[in-house]
Amino acid sequence: MKFTFISVGKKNDSDIEEAVADYTKRIKRYFPVEWKLIPTSDKEKEGESILKILGSGDFIMALDDKGKELDTIELSQFIEKRMSVSDKRIVFVIGGAYGFSDEVYKRANFKWSLSKLTFPHQLVRLILVESLYRAISVIKKEPYHHG
Q: Write the pLDDT tens digit of every residue in 4-49.
A: 999 998 877 899 999 999 999 999 999 999 999 999 999 999 999 9
Q: Which of 33, 5, 4, 6 is nearest to 96 (CA)?
A: 6
Q: Please report, rounded to a whole number, the percentage of residues in the chain having pLDDT higher than 70.
A: 99
pLDDT at 42: 93
Q: Phi-psi category of 119—alpha, beta or left, where left has phi over 0 and alpha has psi -120 to 50?
A: beta
Q: Where do the DSSP E strands lie in 9-143? A: 33-38, 59-69, 89-94, 110-113
- Say if residue 121's pLDDT is above 90: no
Architecture of domain 2-139: 3-Layer(aba) Sandwich (3.40)
pLDDT at 147: 58
Residue 7 β-bridge partners: 37, 94
pTM of the model: 0.94
